[in-house]
Amino acid sequence: MLLPRAGKIYSFLYPVCNEVGVVLELTRRRALVRRVRYLKKEPLRIEDIIRRPMVNRGEILVEALDLDKDEERQYYWDFASAAELVLVNEAGQATAIKTGPSRYERLLFAELLARVTAPERMAVKPAA
């Protein structure tokens, strides 16, 4: 897999909406990578997963400046998608992207996380 590096500019295809179950529409992005976050070493907060369970996530989160919109953005570099996508860097190198968990699995996971982190939210309270 082509790994992003801070300080480099990349051109790649990315979904307009990166959520499970949304019709896939791709747009070309040009981004200056500011920071690369490996989520196995620096995981997301549970609150972020619960807040947005339907986002296709990967193992690498890139914080970057979108050069076309002139705004800071985050991209899941190896994001899960309903179709295989290709990333292309400025040298023309390309790599395929894998698929991820289903919509149901994500909703179930978010519900389980919410129950574990906040038992008071459970419909049936645990016995004292």
Confidence of residue 73 (pLDDT cuts 50, 70, 90): very high
Calculate what percentage of the chain has a pLDDT beyond 70. Answer: 66
Mean pLDDT, residues 70-97 = 61
> Looking at the predicted structure, is the pLDDT value of residue 90 above 80?
no
DSSP conformational letter for 8: -
End-to-end CA distance of the chain: 50
Q: Which residue has the higher pLDDT, 118 or 28?
A: 28
Distance CA 42, CA 62 (A): 12
The pTM assigned to this predicted structure is 0.60
| Residue pair 114/50 in contact by the 8 Å Cβ criterion | yes
> Looking at the predicted structure, is the pLDDT value of residue 97 above 60?
no
> Looking at the predicted structure, is the pLDDT value of residue 63 above 90?
yes
Mean pLDDT, residues 89-118 = 64
Sign of the alpha-carbon dihedral angle for 79, 83, 88, 92: positive
| Residue pair 25/46 in contact by the 8 Å Cβ criterion | no
Q: Which residue has the higher pLDDT, 124 or 40?
A: 40
DSSP 3-state of 27: strand
Give residue 71's pLDDT: 96
